[in-house]
Structure 1
Amino acid sequence: MNTIERVEVLLPGKVEPEGLELHRGPVPEPGAGQLLIAMEATGVSFAEQQMRRGRYYDQPEFPFVPGYDLVGTVRAAGPGVASDLLGRRVAVMTKTGGWASHVVVEAADAVEVPVGVTAAEAETAVVNGITAWQMLHRKASVSAGGTVLVHGANGGVGSILVQLALASGIRVIGTASTRHHETLRALGVVPVDYRSGNVPARVRELAPAGVDAVFDHVGGDGIVDSWRLLAPGGTLVSYGSAATRDDEGSGSWPVLRLLGRVWLWNALPNGRSAHFFNVWAGRAYAKDRFRARLRSDLTQVFAALQRGEITAKVAAEIPLARAAEAMRLAESGTVAGKVVLVP
């Protein structure tokens, strides 16, 4: 008799991708208010890249199972959970724990995936889609006819963000390496080579009066240029510190530095505003509101995916057991879209 076992990828400490460990064990059972999900797709994001370096803000102590989000089928429901969820495909933001064949989650955190959307397609739109949607519509609130600058327009978040903006009638300037420019132009994005050394000058040529919003995942000292490119009344949304990915030392310092700059800029009487976006903001003290907003926004993202307003960009689908290979590929900077792990 064959027994189903749980397979998980463990991050034991600060290691190279090849240091990830594959563990096997019994499939867990869901408790009260919980679901057991058989994972069908989970992603490799910038968060996991930072976690393996010990540089992701508020990551758990080593060892732990990484995996920021996942998509899968509900296989069991704990006490107090409606049985009609059994057999349905759902998406969940987990922050950690997604890199496993079977995952127990709180039922209230699961959002149903529409029929016709594959697991890999849905996976590209979970944390990336929520981040893009909330930054564009809840933080920046740019009107049709406005202009925005999206750094990393070919990346996981950036590629969804530019499509959501274009669908809203917003002009998009996007930074990316030249190999991605043709794809961006086909979407309707005005591409700028981030390696040219004159990004601010080029953006000012394209938007002499400034841009209505800048979405910046790079951080570092370049965030100052993003602030200076804003038009009067414009909004800067910072959501990462990719520039410091390979730095040594505290992983909290780059975030704290960004928060300090945001506070200072918002104190200036110039009509512009700055935000540091954290997709988990509000969960600790307003969990029900957080969940309702996430459910609403992810439903909107999935609807945009169904309508074709955004397209799922799967860079590669790689088996969970080859997580090291997937991590290397995601960190290579050579892919467009999201690297997805599958069972």
Structure 2
Amino acid sequence: MSELGAAVMTEIVLPGIVQPDGLEVRTREIPAPGPGQVVLRVEATGVSFAEQQMRLGRYYGQPPFPFVPGYDAVGTVARLGPGADPALAGRRFAVVTKVGSWASHVLVDADALIAVPDGVDPAEAETVVVNGVTARQLLRLAKVRAGQTIVVLGANGGVGSTLVQLAQHDGIKVIGTAAARHHPLLDKLGAIPVDHRDPHLYDRIAALAPGGVDAVFDHLAGDGLKQSWHLIRKGGTLVSYGTAALKDNSASTQAVFLSLFSQLWMWHLSPNGKGARFYNFWAGERRTAAFRARLREDLTAVFALLAEGVLTAQVAATFPLSRAGEALALAESRTVAGKVILVPDPATGTP
């Protein structure tokens, strides 16, 4: 397939450390795919915490400004490069890019594509690309099993709501924290809700699990991390997978992570039978083939659960690509449940 229709693409550029309304909408010629590459016409991409950190220049390893953010995408193969399998043309796939997906078209390696099941809506598929893989790998890292109890902080979020559902599917009891307005959602997903604004939050959780919990999934870090650690029973695991509470910390990103790693490692080595781990989505990225194989296996499994109705996609809101600044502002407001999604602008959505 070589026909793209429009010769130009739209992309959202992060020019520097700006407010969400400082994002720039630009157009340029659609690049030609090289050997083994394809052009993916984007049907849905999402707003994650990573882009929020990138806006502040605080995402570890982000490229220099200006650049196009966008962690992942779902779309249809619109053009093939030399050597790419002709059977890919016109089919829908997901891809994890780390940056570059806030665009109408993205250039990717064909080997990085992961098939989206027929009949699954692109926006719904997008909610579980990185979030679903992260949630599945978090559960595997903590080695929790049926009959055990876990705590999911921020259970209304993109990762959190998916983590709740996967755990429930595995027969694991879930205590989830969220603002009171999101408690009906947690009830619906099968979690026991606790108000994250409650000054006695950790006491409330401890009362629900007097013997301690088998795992806490903490995306916040900060001052609450020690209290998460105290919730863990002997044999349990604290899994830290983000630093949301430190988003506005004045320390360097490297210093923040070094402090976090040091604290977790010290706890992990303590002689109390408890574990403390840090999760990094990109662990093993340098071993490209192995990394992509694990990613494909996990996302394929999550997509199957989505297609079967075991997982319910949590779409917080959708915005056209050109309104990415508004979408980012909404995501940063911490008032929504699920993931904010960007979709093509009506005039350029289908070349």
Alpha-carbon distance in structure 1 between the residues aligned to 2:161 and 2:189: 10
Deviation at 1:4, TM superposition (A): 2.9
State the match for 1:100 in structure 2.
103
| 2:27 equivalent to 1:24 | yes
| 2:314 equivalent to 1:309 | no
State the match for 2:336 in structure 1.
335
Alpha-carbon distance in structure 1 between the residues aligned to 2:6 and 2:231: 59
State the match for 2:291 in structure 1.
290
The two structures have a TM-score, normalised by structure 1, of 0.97
| Amino acid in structure 1 at the alignment position of 2:134 | T
| 2:143 equivalent to 1:141 | yes
Where 1:271 maps in the other structure, the secondary structure is coil
> Which range moved further: 54-63 or 241-250?
241-250
| Amino acid in structure 2 at the alignment position of 1:87 | G
Alpha-carbon distance in structure 1 between the residues aligned to 2:48 and 2:24: 18
CA contact 1:239–1:277 (8 Å) conserved in 2: yes
Where 2:265 maps in the other structure, the secondary structure is helix
Where 2:327 maps in the other structure, the secondary structure is helix
Task: Give the share of equivalent positions with the same residue, in percent.
Answer: 58
Deviation at 1:252, TM superposition (A): 2.4
CA contact 1:56–1:252 (8 Å) conserved in 2: no
| 2:286 equivalent to 1:263 | no
Where 2:63 maps in the other structure, the secondary structure is coil
The two structures have a TM-score, normalised by structure 2, of 0.95
| Amino acid in structure 1 at the alignment position of 2:328 | M
| Amino acid in structure 1 at the alignment position of 2:323 | R
State the match for 1:193 in structure 2.
195
* Residue pairs, 1:195-274, within 5 angstroms: 195-274=197-276
State the match for 1:87 in structure 2.
90
Deviation at 1:182, TM superposition (A): 1.6
CA contact 1:210–1:229 (8 Å) conserved in 2: yes
Alpha-carbon distance in structure 2 between the residues aligned to 1:198 and 1:330: 26
4+ runs deviating over 6 angstroms: none
| Amino acid in structure 1 at the alignment position of 2:74 | V
Deviation at 1:3, TM superposition (A): 3.9
* Residue pairs, 1:161-176, within 5 angstroms: 161-176=163-178
User: What are structure 2's unaligned runs of at least 5 residues?
Assistant: 345-351
| 2:115 equivalent to 1:112 | yes
Alpha-carbon distance in structure 2 between the residues aligned to 1:340 and 1:287: 28
Deviation at 1:152, TM superposition (A): 0.2
State the match for 2:348 in structure 1.
none
* Residue pairs, 1:70-85, within 5 angstroms: 70-85=73-88
Deviation at 1:30, TM superposition (A): 0.8
Where 2:237 maps in the other structure, the secondary structure is strand
State the match for 2:349 in structure 1.
none
CA contact 1:233–1:271 (8 Å) conserved in 2: yes
Alpha-carbon distance in structure 1 between the residues aligned to 2:91 and 2:256: 40
Q: CA-to-partner distance for each residue in 1:93-140, whole Å, 9 max, x for gaps?
A: 100000011100111111010001011000000011110011012x01
Alpha-carbon distance in structure 1 between the residues aligned to 2:180 and 2:315: 20
Where 2:203 maps in the other structure, the secondary structure is helix
Alpha-carbon distance in structure 1 between the residues aligned to 2:328 and 2:249: 18
Deviation at 1:167, TM superposition (A): 0.5
Deviation at 1:249, TM superposition (A): 3.8
